[in-house]
Amino acid sequence: MKLLAIDASTEACSAALIISDKSIERYEVAPRKHAELILPMIDSLLSEAELTFSQLDALAFGRGPGSFTGLRIAAGVIQGIAFGAELPVVPVSSLAALAQGAYRTFSVDKILAGFDARMHEVYWSMYQPGASGLVELIGEESVCKPDRIPLPDGVNWTGVGSAWQVYSDALQLRLGHGISDWHSDCYPHAQDIAILGVELFRQGKMVSTEYAVPVYLRDNVVSVRQG
């Protein structure tokens, strides 16, 4: 299995390539430079692996939620590659990738993933790893006020993502004893987009080029200040 993944849903920009059970990644936190970075990252990965687009089995991208500008950049790049190389695309939740990265990095099994959504709101989701070691969504992804986030069952949850940098006080007050720790400087990695993308590909959850589009969670995208 050879899969190329990209993510530009937050301040971080990354690309990763999975070949069988090995992966390589390019990653940089560089707000507003995604358009400059993503194609050179992809070229660098393919050059290192000595592959062309036509030798890949599939593509994956962080489909959101997240920065409207970043999501459009990622979707546009993936659509262009998919169309030219006739490759299927696997859309992967950026929040799921954030949670997968938390599981991979911190070995936590109760994860509250959240991005700052501007307008005093957060993009929010709850995840736990399944038997396969891949995170699984509990409930639904949502966009809401920090003091209205869905409450998880039990205690010892770990928070990750920029929501915890901006709204930690409100989130702690809402969650009470349910939250044990949080890491506000975490961003999605294309490596985790790729890990989740491979499994979704195996499940047949790929789309054709025209359906490789962002998921914003917000209806009033046009009126919102771009991320």
pLDDT in tens, 172-220: 999 999 999 999 999 999 999 999 999 999 999 999 999 999 999 986 4
Residue range 2-93+188-211, CATH number: 3.30.420.40
CATH class of 95-183: alpha beta
3-state SS string for the chain: CEEEEEECCCCEEEEEEEECCEEEEEEEECCCCHHHHHHHHHHHHHHHHCCCHHHCCEEEEEEECCCHHHHHHHHHHHHHHHHHHCCCEEEEEHHHHHHHHHHHHHCCCCEEEEEECCCCCEEEEEEEECCCCCEEEEEEEEEECHHHCCCCCCCCEEEECCHHHHCHHHHHHHHHHHEEEEECCCCCCHHHHHHHHHHHHHCCCCECHHHCCCCCCCCCCCCCCCC
Report the range of poorest mean pLDDT among 7-16, 109-118, 216-225. Answer: 216-225
Q: What is the pTM of this model?
A: 0.94
CATH fold match for the domains 2-93+188-211 and 95-183: yes
Quote the mean pLDDT of the chain. 95
pLDDT in tens, 66-112: 999 999 999 999 999 999 999 999 999 999 999 999 999 999 999 99
The domains of the chain are located at 2-93+188-211, 95-183
